Amino acid sequence: MKKFLVVIATSLGLISLSGCGTQANHQKTIRIGILQIVQHGSLDAARQGFQTELTHQIKQVHPTWQIQYDYQNAQGDQANLNTMAQQLTLQNSQLLLAIGTPAAQTLARKTNRLPILTTAVTDLKAAGLVHSIQKPETNVSGTSDKAPVTKQLQLLTSLSKSKKPLGVIYNSSEENSLAQVATAKQYAKNHHLKLKTISVTTTNDIQSALANFTSQISGLYVPTDNLMASAMSIIGKNSQRAQIPVVTGSIEMAQAGGTATYGLNYRDLGKQTAQMAARVILKQQSPSTTPVETANHLQLYVNSTNAKLIGINLKTIKQP
């Protein structure tokens, strides 16, 4: 009889433990750490697209799971970036998202254990984040925002009204910008185009840099550059005064002060990154074997207000 009671008690205990395990699984919380280098339209759109899509992807499979996003923005300050990266890597996160090259590099230096996905990083290999695009072999993968620079320069050439050189303004301290400017210079050389470049390292330098520069060029190209993206309103006003077109690296930048672009939508890029994140979380896919992806969709975008202000007929703007 005593043995029988012990068996019953043990069985009930197992049932109770089993019930607790089911309940824990039922109420599971997924923690995602997000580190963003600075606040501006393109990076914000990538983050918003990522969160919306990842929540959707997880809820489709596990409707009761909760997704907790821990979002940190360094506001362009390297000291903040280091502190925030350290905090995020110490938390019990299932995945870290790095938005922008400096954020990705800082997180990668802090941990080689937690899976990291990036977005809005132009060249992950050049940034030292992966060994190769097809097989990263690190704890990092993600989506590249590499712009179709040559197509964008074709578009700018078609919008330019004079034979003056094309101009490029960029941040000389950002690796992404240097890579895009190198592509622009090679394209200009191959097609016998005159190209003038000017670089800055702070927002405060942009106004003075453009003061004389815009009178020397027939059109301005602005690559996907965090500093430039945060200053598009300044660039847009200067270009309107000079009556020159501005082609940007991204749609969000064109919306904020450019004339047109043939490029990617950062919200869509964020969604694409979220689909990769869902595979990491739900299928335990490792970033080390996950190829880096580029934007699935490119489109022609025209800022009609800006185009009209500088005297461009909207009907003449064609996809390159």
Q: Give how far Cα 278 sits from Cα of 281, 287, 292, Å.
A: 5, 12, 15
Q: How far apart are CA 33 and CA 97, in angstroms?
A: 6
pLDDT higher than 80, residue 8: no
Mean pLDDT, residues 252-279 taken together: 96
**pTM of this structure:** 0.80
Q: Put residue 76 in one of left, alpha, beta given phi > 0 → left and psi -120 to 50 → alpha.
A: left
In this structure, the dihedral spanned by the alpha carbons of residues 158, 161, 162 and 165, taken in order and rounded to 10 degrees, is: -50
Q: List the structure tokens of 296.
A: 């699935």
Q: How far apart are CA 120 and CA 86, in angstroms?
A: 21
pLDDT classification of 92: cutoffs 50, 70, 90: confident
pLDDT higher than 90, residue 9: no
Q: How far apart are CA 249 and CA 238, in angstroms?
A: 18
Report pLDDT digits (tens) over 22-68.
Answer: 444 466 999 999 999 999 888 999 999 999 999 999 999 999 999 99
Q: How far apart are CA 234 and CA 231, in angstroms?
A: 5
Q: How far apart are CA 111 and CA 231, in angstroms?
A: 32
In this structure, the dihedral spanned by the alpha carbons of residues 271, 169, 36 and 293, taken in order and rounded to 10 degrees, is: 40
Report pLDDT digits (tens) over 135-169.
Answer: 999 999 999 999 899 999 999 999 998 999 999 99
Q: Give how far Cα 116 sits from Cα of 36, 139, 281, Å.
A: 13, 6, 11
pLDDT higher than 50, residue 198: yes
309 neighbors 245 (Cβ within 8 angstroms): no
The number of angstroms, rounded, from the C-alpha of 13 to the middle of its chain's C-alpha atoms is: 50
The DSSP-derived string for 33-81 is EEEESS--HHHHHHHHHHHHHHHHHHHHH-TT-EEEEEEEE-TT-HHHH
Determine the pLDDT at residue 27: 61
pLDDT higher than 60, residue 208: yes
220 neighbors 214 (Cβ within 8 angstroms): yes
Determine the pLDDT at residue 297: 87
Report pLDDT digits (tens) over 280-291.
Answer: 999 999 999 999
pLDDT higher than 70, residue 11: no
Sorted by where each starts, the structural domains of the chain and their CATH numbers stand as 26-145+266-289 (3.40.50.2300), 149-263+300-316 (3.40.50.2300)
Q: Which residues contact 18 (CB under 8 A, 6 or more apart)?
A: none
Give helix 232-242 / helix 204-213 axis angle, nearest 10°: 20
| Buried-exposed string 30-55: b where 16+ CB fall within 10 A, e elsewhere | bbbbbbbbbebbbbbbbbebbbebbb
